Structure formats: structure tokens, C-alpha cells
Structure 1
Amino acid sequence: MDIPVTTLSQSVLLFALCAAVVWFAGARLAYLMDTLADRYHLAKSLVGLLVLSLATSLPEVATTLTAALQQARDLVLNNLFGGIALQTAILAMSDFWARGAITNYPRKANHALEATLLVLLLAIALIICNLGETFVFGGVGLGSVFIAVTYAGAIWMLRRYDDSSDWVPVDLPDPDPLPFPAPTGLGARSNAALIWQSIAACLAILIFGLLLVLFAERIATQSGLGTSFIGVTLLAGATSLPELTTSITAVRIGAYTMAISNIFGSNLIMLVLVFPADILFRAGPILQETSKTVTLALSFGIAVTAIYLIGLIVRRKPKVGTIGLDSVLVLITFAGSLLAYYYVR
């Protein structure tokens, strides 16, 4: 995008304006997806995993592929892997709007399976980063291919398991939390109108999300902070803003399973994007000779996902104020990750 040169203060202001548009579009999209799920009798966890997560990941997709074309390995990997812990922390923040711990609400094991498969993919990526790419074909590492194949298998397994009821949790909370009022007139709209509004919201998220990334990079340059640190903090935060607004909105209307699947699904997409990025990155396998920040980001991604996996399994858990202990631990871990990134920058 050819954007005129701005001062640091102007970049911050434009960043805030783009963030406001993305926030509104993301909130609207959550309402629309919730309504469409009811209209078409779809499981909200499935809508969150396959539709909402992809829509909110559009800025990450565009940013990652653009950075790969520019041969910016560190920017690609730090943005992708740094966003995993951040997006999980977003789920923890949305717990403030839930009635009780958010991980108490899922009634099927598919969310625990999502978390388990996410940990598996993160562990595979971490192993590849530490071992290096041994087999390379056309400049693409076998490791990134294996991650893509594993991701496809994970989605296939989650789709098949969605209708399964062979594992039932106990100590379930009230299934009908008090909903947050939906936008006026949304229920009276036709299915076609809802779909077109959803497409418009996705386009707004993509366009203004990319502008967010552009101004985040400009702020990074103008403020003099390091590329690696900015990649796992400000840039990852900019591209994760759609997940923040959609998750909070989903929780406020009681669509807890859609919020959880939105975050876990987005994190799975972050990992599979390594494969197309590897194809576009022509200086060798993209997972070769990675920085310490990348391996740290993967490790913290495993940690926060494992915490929520425990929370999904342990139904009756302590609360700290109004949120679950697992969400508190995720936020503490994420804060620790920021300190670690700054230390190794």
C-alpha cells in the first residue's frame, strides 16, 4: 500500500482509527455468525473453528505472505508464532465477560481435542526449529510440508468428532447464560442479507487490518524498537485485534464455544501458514536457522494452550474474582512471555 509519510504521532492516531474500524467489524461479524449458525442449525464450535477463525485471520494471512515475498523470515515467524500466545491471552481476557470460568461451558470434548492437536503442531514446529530442515525440495523444507499435512488431518479429525458424544463432561454450568442484546433488527434480516453483511465485515477486517499492520510497522521504525520484539508484540497485537473483538462479543452473547473455537482455530491457522510462507520464501527453508525468539514463542504457545487444556478437563476449578484460575495463569504466562521476548531481543 502506498501510504503518505507520517510522523510518529500521526501514525499512532491512524493506527487507533483503523483499530476502531476493525473492532466494530469484528463485533458485527460475531453477531452475524451467531445468527447464521442458528438459522442453518450449525454447531457454534464448528462455525468458530472453520469460519470465524479464518475470517479473523485474514490480516495474518496477508501480512505473512507479504513478508515472505519480501524475504523477511524473522517478521513472518515472529508474527505467526508470537500471535499464538497473544490470541490465547485474548481468550483469557474475554473470560471477564463470562458468567464463571469460560472453560466450564463446553459440553463436548472437541475443544479439548482442538487444544491437544494445537499442542502437537506447536511441538512439531519447535522440534523442526531446533533440528533444522534436513530434507529440502525446491527450497521448501519437509518440516513445513509435514505441518500442513498434520493440520489437514487435525481439521478432518475435528470435523468428524464434532457430532460425537462418547465423552461427556460433568459439573456443567447453566447452558443458557443471559445474552447480550443483539443489534437492532438483525433477527429480521434475510439469510442473504446476513451473508452479504458478513462478507462486508470480512473485507473491512482485511483492509483495515492490513492498514493496522502497516502503521504498526511504521510505529516500530519511528520508535526505534527492534524488529523481533515488535514482531511478537505490536505487530502480532495488530493482526490479532479481530480475534479480540469477535471473542469478547461472542462471550457477551453467550456463544462460549464459538469464542473458544475461534481462538484455537486461529492458532491452528497460524501454524499452517508456515507452509505457503515457506513456498514464497526463496532464501531456503523458512524454519531453518530460526532465532531464539521464535523457539520461545512456540514454547509459550505450548504452555498457554496446555493450561487451557487442563481447564477444559478439570470442570470444577477455583476462580480469581470473576474469572477462572486457568485464564489468570494464561495472562500471567503471556506477561512473562513479553519479558522473555524483550530479554532476548
Structure 2
Amino acid sequence: MNSFSYYDTTILSLGALFFGIIMLIKGGGWAVEAGVFIATRYGVSPLIVGFTIIAFGTSLPELIVSVVANLQGSPGIALGNVLGSNIANVLMVLGCTALISVLHVKVSRMLVRDLIFMMLAMIGLTALLYSGGISRLTGFGMVSILGTYIFIQYKAVGLSKDDTAEGEEVSAAETPLFKSDFVAYGTLLLGLVCISVGAEFLVKGAKVSAGLIGVPESIIALSIIAFGTSLPELTTSIIAARKGHSEMVIGNIIGSNVFNVLMILGFASLMKPIASGSFSPQILNFDVWIALLVSFSLVLVLLIFGRIGRFTGILFFLSYIAYNIYIYMANINA
């Protein structure tokens, strides 16, 4: 009877995990499509759409999961999700994308600035975690810094309603089609509801799975949840790479990683402070340093080579697999 109960619980928890991931992916896709449609209907620049709606939309799963987890008393899931997503974005997303198409990027002042900002965000997060956690005031500061950064980006490229990326214009073929604004708004609402429901299932499934496997909740967040919430970035990156938009791929990953640290953890801590001793020591002793190392590796590769080739893609992807194997082997029933 106990054996049946164990396997029954295992199946239910895994089912909750995968159902949550599916809901997050579908909901995120609908929210992005509807958001882009609504924005372009009102004449918003494609660049602004990319900087805000698409970046926000692909990070919505991480945002909702982290906020829900933190409110439910699982800050380890919130932190693990952000760190795991940042690691997955570079090693898994860029690794897989580079295997499909070599990613070339122009080493411009804007790229250097964005890379520096990404590193500063990661260094700042590391310092915060070692100095007592993230308070509500600090969370507000993190969100404010991101808002200021986006505003500076906006002013730097001189965006206006009529601006387009390299002369490109948004055509009907490139924009999701909805019969009316009402349908678009309804789809946006449905997407947000799916994301919220998916986040609930994902967090609850992660908690139960962690107990069954015998690992901290943060390990589930660093691996399974991070992989699931990074799938929108993987999808958009592969599509962009196939169309030859390498810089869009790189920009999406850098922006997503900055957004994950400043917006997601900032907003989550605004809802409920993240205390230093409220999560697994492994996050401080290992995972945050791996996230820093991965970010620094991306900076070096882009600034030195100006490209991410297939060999680098293979190294990234194999490193991601090795990292996930290690965190489970080091923690299972420890």
C-alpha cells in the first residue's frame, strides 16, 4: 500500500510539473502574440515591441513562477528558477541555437554596454545574497534600475513611433492575426490566466517532487523548472537564427538574463523579502558562481570572437548537461 502511494504521488507530482510547463509555454505564446498585435495596431515601433513586450512575454513564466513560489514560502524555487534560467539561456538556448546556425554579432558600443550591465546585475545579485538577502526596498531599487536602463536604451537609439529596425516594417504576415481587438485582448487575458495556473501547478509539483527525490526544492527549480521556463527563449531564438537575425538572438538572451535578475527577483522581493538564510546553501556556495561564470564566458566569447560557432555551441550544451547531472548527483538523498 505504501509502495502504491509513493508511485501514485510521484506520478501526480510529475504530472503537475509537466502540465504546468505546458500551460506556461502556451500561455506565454498567446500573451506575446496578442501583445505584439495590440502594440502594432496602435503604431508602436517594432523595436519597442521587441525591447518590452517580447522580452517581457518570454520572461513571464519565470516571473509568475518566482513570485508564486516566494509568496508560498519557497524562496529557493524563486532564486533557483532565476539562476537556472540564466544558465539555461546561455548554455542550452545559445548552445542549441548555434548548432543550427552560427551566431555572428557586431561588437558595438551598445553590445558592450549591455554585456557590462548583465555582468553588473549578476555581481550585484551575488553581493546581495551574501549580505543578507533582498529586502522590499532593494527589490524596488532593482525594478527601478531596470526601468531606467530600458529608458536609456530607448533614448540611445532614438526610437519613435515611426522607427523600424534597419528599415524593416511590420507587415500583416509578420503579425499574429486576430479578427478584432476584442479577440486579441481576450487571447492576452487567456494567456495570462494560463501562465498563472501553470505557475501554481509547477510550484506545487516541484515541492512534492523535491521531497520524493530527496533534493532541495532549489534543485528542481535550477533544472526542470528553469528548463521549462526557458523554452520560450529557445523557440524565439531558433526562429530568429533561421531567419539570419543573430544579433536579435544575442540581444534576447542578454535582455532576458538582465530581466530575470532585476525584474523577477526585484518584483518577487517586493511581494515578500528574500532572507539570506531562507534557501539552500548550495545556491550561495555553487549555483550563483556558476551563473556568474557562465555570464562571464558569454562576454568573453562575444568580445573576443564576435560569434558563437558550432564548436562553442557543443561546449555550451554539453556543459549544461554536465551541470544538471552534477547538481542531482551531489544532492540526491544527501
- TM-score, normalising length: structure 1: 0.70
- Distance in 2, matches of 1:110 and 1:192, equals 38
Distance 1:267 1:72 in 2: 21
Residue in structure 1 matching 2:149, options 132, 141, 154: 154
1:129-176 superposed Cα distances (whole Å, 9 cap, x missing partner): 33x14xx9xx93765555444333322332223349xxxxxxxxxx99
Is contact 2:28–2:61 with CA below 8 Å preserved after alignment? no
Matches within 5 A, 1:197-208: 197-208=187-198
* Contact 1:82/1:236 (8 A) holds in 2: yes
* Map of 1:264 onto structure 2: 254
Residue of 227, 236, 239 corresponding to 2:217: 227
Structure 1 35/115 Cα, relative in aligned 2: closer, same or farther at 3 Å?
Answer: farther
Aligned length: 311
Q: CA RMSD in A?
A: 4.1
Cα distance in 2 between the residues matched to 1:198 and 1:90: 28
Q: Which amino acid aligns with 2:97?
A: D
Aligned-residue offset at 1:33: 6.6
Alpha-carbon distance between aligned partners in 1 of 2:259 and 2:110, rounded to the nearest angstrom: 17
Cα distance change on mapping 1:217 and 1:59 into 2, 3 Å: farther
Query: What is the rounded CA distance, in whole Å, between the counterparts of 2:282 and 2:128 in structure 1?
Result: 13
Is 1:123 aligned to residue 109 of structure 2? Answer: no
2:55 maps to which residue?
53
Change (3 A) 1:326 1:203: farther
Q: 1:41 to 1:65 in 2, by over 3 A?
A: closer
Contact 2:96 2:317 in 1 (8 A): no
Structure 2 counterpart of 1:217, one-letter code: K
Q: For residues 62 and 22 of structure 1, do their structure 2 counterparts lie closer, same or farther at Cα, with a shift above 3 Å needed?
A: closer
1:342 Cα deviation (Å)? 4.1
Assess, with a 3 A threshold, how the Cα gap between structure 1 residues 266 and 88 changes in structure 2: closer, same or farther. Answer: same
C-alpha distance in 2 between matches for 1:72 and 1:80: 13
> Would you say 1:334 and 2:320 are equivalent positions?
yes
Change (3 A) 1:113 1:68: same
Alignment of 1:239 onto 2:234: no
State the distance in 1 between where 2:182 and 2:241 align: 25
> Could you say which structure has the higher helix fraction?
2
Unmatched 5+ stretches in structure 1? 165-174, 177-181
Extract unaligned runs of 5+ from structure 2. 1-6, 160-166
Provide TM-score, normalisation by structure 2. 0.71
CA displacement at 1:6 relative to structure 2: 5.6
Indicate the SS of the match to 2:275: coil
